[in-house]
Structure 1
């Protein structure tokens, strides 16, 4: 399989350094898929700092490692406004704590680390993006949900059928995306997912 042209060995080094933090909440599935969507989005925005986007999407959810998985699903995936639950804020702040020494150990400077951590801190809970890099990371984080794997995983999290969750994505998640390219990708993936899962039958 050919690698994406924006994929670099340096990004693999970040993945490897963060590996242990990804073995919770299906992040070892979610993060690589979201990374691939980030690479696709960057094709449309060649002016962005690609390394910041790559590090941001790879590390954005590593803070879940610090939180008990039962608490993640009890408090972070239920209730009227899951994005303002305490564990959502906590996984962002813990993610920053993990990301700083991890990136420093790989030789990244303080300015770069600060840009990445600004994205991590608030990627779920902040109502707005602070940069184009931030927009790409925030959208890529959501786009995996529309793919068949994301729907399959999220059905268990939210106790829904694939058809129910696909409809939820269409009704509430597309409007959360920042970039027009992200909206197009979301619709493309959702159409493919519904076809693959025989949504017209089941």
Structure 2
């Protein structure tokens, strides 16, 4: 569970007055996407896709900072809606689609096609900019199966989606999907992320996340936990 409150104040004094309200790097969800999220969220409850989507969205915001040429009005809703199609796949078959050593490409394609269909309805219902919709749907329909990127917007969506796997939440989630220990899950995520990204920034993010995660498994790091 993510730590939100301190367990102690070792310094013993209040330093909050020195913290800026909006330092560089703070990310806030675009309010125009809130209505989209409200309709998408119920469709994203399959295999923790709702949390996955929000974390991937955060990575997309960071990648957009490095790519001002990319259209955020395409990237962000495409990412928010990219996995709604899993709601149309039988729950007992969802993990078959991406299982190591197996996989069901037909189910991957199904969730992309259904995702584009559902996304079209959500975007129409919320009155989203019609001039952006065709590109958003094209990204969703192929975000997993298509090995090339249609545009910088598609590349950012693909990279954010994949890089999430190496985040703490991504590794935690994959562990429970397939009954793997953390080392096994991290190695699986590494082989499915490194070498499969498009932007240099995402490649750097993935290496950094992977490095931090592997350090948590070092005996030296594990030994520090016994001090507490």
Question: Which TM-score applies when normalising by structure 1?
Answer: 0.90
Q: Are residues 1:13 and 2:31 paired?
A: no
Instruction: List aligned pairs for 1:37-186, cutoff 5 A.
Output: 37-73=59-95, 75-78=96-99, 80=101, 82=103, 85-186=105-206
Residues 127 and 56 of structure 1: is their aligned pair in 2 closer, same or farther, counting only changes over 3 Å? same
Q: Is the 8 A contact 2:55 2:164 kept in 1?
A: yes
- RMSD after superposition: 1.9
Give the whole-Å Cα distance in 2 for the aligned partners of 1:126 and 1:172: 15
Distance 2:40 2:189 in 1: 29
Number of residue equivalences: 198
Gaps of 5+ in 2: 1-20, 223-228
In structure 1, list runs of 5 or more residues that go unmatched: none
* Alignment partner of 1:26 is 2:48: yes
Q: Judge conservation of contact 1:77–1:157 (CA < 8 Å) in 2.
A: no
Aligned residue in 1 for 2:9: none
Q: TM-score, normalised by structure 2?
A: 0.80
Distance 1:7 1:86, change over 3 A: same
Write out per-residue CA displacement over residues 85-140 of structure 1, whole angstroms, 9 at most, x where no aligned residue.
11100000010110001101111244311110000000000111100000000000
Counterparts of 1:138 and 1:33, CA distance in 2: 13
Deviations 1:135-168 (A, max 9, x none): 0000000111101111011012233211122223
Q: If you compute each CA radius of gyration, which structure gives the higher value, 1 or 2?
A: 2
Query: For the Cα contact (< 8 Å) 2:165–2:193, is it kept in 1?
Result: no
Q: Does 1:200 align with 2:218?
A: yes
Q: Comparing both chains, which one has the higher relative contact order based on Cα–Cα distances under 8 Å and sequence gaps of 6 or more?
A: 1
Distance 1:114 1:157 in 2: 33
- The 3 A distance-change label for structure 1 pair 172 and 21 is closer
Deviation larger for 127-136 or 12-21: 12-21
CA distance in 1: counterparts of 2:102 and 2:146, whole angstroms: 13
